[in-house]
Structure 1
Amino acid sequence: MAYDEQLAERVRPLMRRRKGFSEKKMFGGVGFLLSGNMCVGVWKECLILRLGLENYETALSDPDTREFDITGRAMRGWVMVEPAGVEVEADLLDWVDQAVKFVRTLPAK
Protein backbone atom coordinates (compact mmCIF):
# COMPACT_ATOMS: atom_id res chain seq x y z
CA MET A 1 0.00 0.00 0.00
CA ALA A 2 1.29 3.45 -0.89
CA TYR A 3 1.09 6.15 1.71
CA ASP A 4 -2.08 8.21 2.16
CA GLU A 5 -1.44 11.12 -0.20
CA GLN A 6 -4.54 12.95 1.05
CA LEU A 7 -3.13 12.94 4.58
CA ALA A 8 0.22 14.14 3.24
CA GLU A 9 -1.60 16.98 1.46
CA ARG A 10 -3.19 17.99 4.76
CA VAL A 11 0.15 17.89 6.61
CA ARG A 12 2.23 19.63 3.94
CA PRO A 13 0.86 23.18 4.46
CA LEU A 14 1.18 22.80 8.24
CA MET A 15 4.87 21.99 7.83
CA ARG A 16 5.79 24.07 4.77
CA ARG A 17 5.34 27.33 6.66
CA ARG A 18 7.99 26.32 9.22
CA LYS A 19 11.57 27.56 9.02
CA GLY A 20 13.95 24.82 7.88
CA PHE A 21 11.23 22.73 6.19
CA SER A 22 12.09 19.99 3.73
CA GLU A 23 10.28 16.94 2.43
CA LYS A 24 11.73 13.56 1.62
CA LYS A 25 10.38 10.22 0.41
CA MET A 26 11.38 7.62 2.99
CA PHE A 27 10.37 4.27 4.50
CA GLY A 28 7.75 3.78 1.80
CA GLY A 29 6.09 7.04 2.79
CA VAL A 30 6.93 10.69 3.03
CA GLY A 31 8.80 12.52 5.76
CA PHE A 32 8.65 16.18 6.68
CA LEU A 33 11.84 17.50 8.22
CA LEU A 34 12.82 20.63 10.08
CA SER A 35 16.46 21.72 9.89
CA GLY A 36 17.37 18.23 8.71
CA ASN A 37 15.60 16.40 11.56
CA MET A 38 12.69 14.09 10.84
CA CYS A 39 9.59 15.57 12.49
CA VAL A 40 6.38 14.25 10.94
CA GLY A 41 5.64 11.64 8.32
CA VAL A 42 2.93 9.68 6.61
CA TRP A 43 3.26 5.92 6.30
CA LYS A 44 0.40 3.95 4.80
CA GLU A 45 -2.68 5.54 6.40
CA CYS A 46 -0.96 6.71 9.60
CA LEU A 47 0.59 9.96 10.74
CA ILE A 48 4.04 9.45 12.22
CA LEU A 49 5.28 11.84 14.89
CA ARG A 50 8.61 12.35 16.58
CA LEU A 51 7.68 13.43 20.10
CA GLY A 52 10.71 12.50 22.20
CA LEU A 53 10.87 10.24 25.22
CA GLU A 54 9.23 12.69 27.62
CA ASN A 55 6.02 12.88 25.55
CA TYR A 56 6.07 9.33 24.23
CA GLU A 57 4.17 7.56 27.03
CA THR A 58 1.56 10.30 27.29
CA ALA A 59 0.94 10.13 23.55
CA LEU A 60 0.58 6.35 23.69
CA SER A 61 -2.24 6.72 26.21
CA ASP A 62 -4.37 8.16 23.40
CA PRO A 63 -6.58 5.39 21.97
CA ASP A 64 -5.72 6.40 18.39
CA THR A 65 -1.95 6.02 18.80
CA ARG A 66 0.49 3.14 18.82
CA GLU A 67 4.23 2.66 18.82
CA PHE A 68 6.02 3.49 15.60
CA ASP A 69 7.00 0.00 14.52
CA ILE A 70 7.27 -0.86 10.85
CA THR A 71 10.25 -3.22 11.15
CA GLY A 72 9.42 -5.36 14.18
CA ARG A 73 11.38 -3.07 16.48
CA ALA A 74 9.54 -0.08 17.95
CA MET A 75 11.22 3.31 17.87
CA ARG A 76 10.85 4.88 21.30
CA GLY A 77 9.98 8.54 21.18
CA TRP A 78 7.97 8.09 17.99
CA VAL A 79 4.27 7.29 17.61
CA MET A 80 1.83 6.45 14.86
CA VAL A 81 -1.59 8.06 14.87
CA GLU A 82 -4.39 6.08 13.27
CA PRO A 83 -6.70 7.86 10.79
CA ALA A 84 -9.43 8.36 13.41
CA GLY A 85 -7.01 10.46 15.46
CA VAL A 86 -6.48 13.01 12.68
CA GLU A 87 -9.93 13.24 11.08
CA VAL A 88 -10.49 16.66 12.67
CA GLU A 89 -8.15 19.41 11.43
CA ALA A 90 -7.65 20.77 14.95
CA ASP A 91 -6.43 17.35 16.11
CA LEU A 92 -4.04 17.06 13.17
CA LEU A 93 -2.65 20.52 13.91
CA ASP A 94 -2.23 19.66 17.60
CA TRP A 95 -0.25 16.49 16.80
CA VAL A 96 1.94 18.32 14.28
CA ASP A 97 2.56 21.16 16.73
CA GLN A 98 3.65 18.68 19.41
CA ALA A 99 6.18 17.13 17.03
CA VAL A 100 7.46 20.53 15.89
CA LYS A 101 7.89 21.66 19.48
CA PHE A 102 10.05 18.62 20.24
CA VAL A 103 12.11 18.71 17.04
CA ARG A 104 12.87 22.40 17.56
CA THR A 105 14.84 21.33 20.67
CA LEU A 106 17.23 19.27 18.53
CA PRO A 107 20.39 20.64 16.91
CA ALA A 108 20.16 21.24 13.17
CA LYS A 109 21.75 18.65 10.92
Structure 2
Amino acid sequence: MAEYNEKLEDLLDHHLIANEELEKRKQGGGIGYLINGNMCLGIYKDLLVARIGERLASSLVDRPGIRKYLPDKGLYDDFVMIEEQVYSHTKALQKFIDQSISYTGRLPAKDHGKTQHDSQ
Protein backbone atom coordinates (compact mmCIF):
# COMPACT_ATOMS: atom_id res chain seq x y z
CA MET A 1 0.00 0.00 0.00
CA ALA A 2 1.29 3.46 -0.91
CA GLU A 3 2.17 5.98 1.79
CA TYR A 4 0.36 8.69 -0.16
CA ASN A 5 -3.03 9.18 -1.82
CA GLU A 6 -2.82 7.46 -5.22
CA LYS A 7 -6.24 8.83 -6.17
CA LEU A 8 -4.86 12.35 -5.75
CA GLU A 9 -1.84 11.33 -7.85
CA ASP A 10 -4.18 10.23 -10.66
CA LEU A 11 -6.10 13.49 -10.37
CA LEU A 12 -2.94 15.60 -10.57
CA ASP A 13 -1.60 13.51 -13.45
CA HIS A 14 -4.85 14.16 -15.32
CA HIS A 15 -4.58 17.93 -14.77
CA LEU A 16 -0.85 18.06 -15.57
CA ILE A 17 -0.58 15.64 -18.49
CA ALA A 18 -0.05 18.36 -21.10
CA ASN A 19 2.53 20.26 -19.04
CA GLU A 20 5.92 19.17 -20.34
CA GLU A 21 7.94 21.39 -18.00
CA LEU A 22 6.96 19.34 -14.94
CA GLU A 23 9.03 16.37 -13.79
CA LYS A 24 7.33 13.83 -11.52
CA ARG A 25 9.46 12.21 -8.83
CA LYS A 26 8.82 9.90 -5.89
CA GLN A 27 10.38 11.47 -2.80
CA GLY A 28 9.99 11.62 0.94
CA GLY A 29 7.24 8.99 1.08
CA GLY A 30 5.17 10.86 -1.49
CA ILE A 31 5.23 12.33 -4.97
CA GLY A 32 6.73 15.63 -6.08
CA TYR A 33 6.16 17.55 -9.30
CA LEU A 34 9.16 19.73 -10.10
CA ILE A 35 9.90 22.61 -12.47
CA ASN A 36 13.59 23.22 -13.20
CA GLY A 37 14.51 21.15 -10.14
CA ASN A 38 12.23 23.14 -7.79
CA MET A 39 9.31 21.42 -6.12
CA CYS A 40 6.06 22.88 -7.39
CA LEU A 41 3.34 20.48 -6.24
CA GLY A 42 3.38 17.34 -4.19
CA ILE A 43 1.41 14.72 -2.37
CA TYR A 44 2.05 13.92 1.28
CA LYS A 45 -0.26 11.25 2.69
CA ASP A 46 -3.76 12.60 1.81
CA LEU A 47 -2.63 16.19 1.41
CA LEU A 48 -1.87 18.25 -1.66
CA VAL A 49 1.29 20.29 -1.18
CA ALA A 50 1.43 23.47 -3.27
CA ARG A 51 4.22 26.02 -3.61
CA ILE A 52 2.31 29.25 -4.09
CA GLY A 53 4.56 31.98 -2.72
CA GLU A 54 5.01 33.26 0.81
CA ARG A 55 2.53 36.15 0.55
CA LEU A 56 -0.35 34.03 -0.79
CA ALA A 57 0.48 31.14 1.53
CA SER A 58 0.39 33.34 4.62
CA SER A 59 -2.96 34.79 3.56
CA LEU A 60 -4.54 31.33 3.14
CA VAL A 61 -3.29 29.33 6.15
CA ASP A 62 -6.12 30.45 8.40
CA ARG A 63 -8.79 29.09 6.04
CA PRO A 64 -10.41 25.71 6.71
CA GLY A 65 -8.54 22.86 5.04
CA ILE A 66 -5.34 24.83 4.39
CA ARG A 67 -2.31 24.89 6.67
CA LYS A 68 1.41 25.59 6.68
CA TYR A 69 3.70 23.02 5.16
CA LEU A 70 5.75 21.66 8.05
CA PRO A 71 7.94 18.80 6.87
CA ASP A 72 10.42 17.11 9.16
CA LYS A 73 13.25 19.20 7.73
CA GLY A 74 11.87 22.62 8.64
CA LEU A 75 9.39 25.27 7.61
CA TYR A 76 8.84 26.27 3.99
CA ASP A 77 6.97 29.57 4.03
CA ASP A 78 6.04 29.50 0.34
CA PHE A 79 4.23 26.13 0.60
CA VAL A 80 0.81 25.13 1.93
CA MET A 81 -0.81 21.77 2.62
CA ILE A 82 -4.36 21.42 1.33
CA GLU A 83 -6.90 18.92 2.61
CA GLU A 84 -9.26 16.94 0.39
CA GLN A 85 -12.26 19.07 1.41
CA VAL A 86 -10.59 21.91 -0.57
CA TYR A 87 -8.80 20.18 -3.47
CA SER A 88 -11.80 17.98 -4.25
CA HIS A 89 -13.38 21.05 -5.86
CA THR A 90 -12.11 21.17 -9.45
CA LYS A 91 -11.91 24.97 -9.61
CA ALA A 92 -9.98 25.20 -6.34
CA LEU A 93 -7.59 22.45 -7.43
CA GLN A 94 -6.98 24.17 -10.76
CA LYS A 95 -6.29 27.50 -9.01
CA PHE A 96 -3.68 25.89 -6.77
CA ILE A 97 -2.10 24.12 -9.75
CA ASP A 98 -1.98 27.32 -11.81
CA GLN A 99 -0.60 29.41 -8.96
CA SER A 100 2.04 26.79 -8.14
CA ILE A 101 3.22 26.51 -11.73
CA SER A 102 3.29 30.29 -12.14
CA TYR A 103 5.21 30.90 -8.91
CA THR A 104 7.66 28.00 -9.18
CA GLY A 105 8.29 28.63 -12.88
CA ARG A 106 9.78 32.02 -11.96
CA LEU A 107 12.29 30.57 -9.47
CA PRO A 108 15.94 30.07 -10.49
CA ALA A 109 16.64 26.57 -11.79
CA LYS A 110 18.34 24.14 -9.41
CA ASP A 111 21.19 22.07 -10.75
CA HIS A 112 21.30 18.96 -8.57
CA GLY A 113 24.12 17.43 -10.60
CA LYS A 114 26.80 20.01 -9.81
CA THR A 115 28.02 21.81 -6.77
CA GLN A 116 29.72 25.19 -6.71
CA HIS A 117 33.02 23.39 -6.11
CA ASP A 118 32.52 21.20 -9.22
CA SER A 119 32.15 24.20 -11.51
CA GLN A 120 35.45 25.81 -10.48
Same fold? TM cut 0.5: yes
Cross-structure match for 2:86:
85
The code of the aligned residue for 1:36 comes to: G
The share of aligned pairs that are identical, in percent, is: 27
The code of the aligned residue for 1:95 comes to: F
Cross-structure match for 2:96:
95
Q: Which stretch has the larger CA shift, 30-39 or 9-18?
A: 9-18
TM-score normalised to the size of structure 1? Answer: 0.89
Which protein shows a greater Rg?
2
Instruction: Note if contact 1:18-1:34 (Cα within 8 Å) is conserved in structure 2.
Output: no
**Residues in 2 aligned to 1:72 and 1:53: alpha-carbon distance in whole angstroms:** 18
Any gaps of 5 or more consecutive residues in structure 2? 111-120
The code of the aligned residue for 1:40 comes to: L
Cross-structure match for 2:11:
10
Aligned length: 109
**Residues in 1 aligned to 2:35 and 2:74: alpha-carbon distance in whole angstroms:** 25
Q: Which stretch has the larger CA shift, 77-86 or 19-28?
A: 19-28
Instruction: Note if contact 1:16-1:22 (Cα within 8 Å) is conserved in structure 2.
Output: no
Cross-structure match for 1:42:
43
Any gaps of 5 or more consecutive residues in structure 1? none
TM-score normalised to the size of structure 2? Answer: 0.82
SS of 2:78's equivalent?
strand
**Shift of residue 16 of structure 1?**
3.2
SS of 1:76's equivalent?
coil
**Shift of residue 72 of structure 1?**
7.3
Structure number with the higher strand fraction is: 1
Cross-structure match for 1:75:
76
Instruction: Note if contact 2:52-2:96 (Cα within 8 Å) is conserved in structure 1.
Output: no
Give runs of ≥4 in structure 1 deviating > 6 Å.
none
Q: Where does 1:19-30 land on structure 2 (aligned, <5 Å)?
A: 19-30=20-31
SS of 1:6's equivalent?
helix
The code of the aligned residue for 1:85 comes to: V
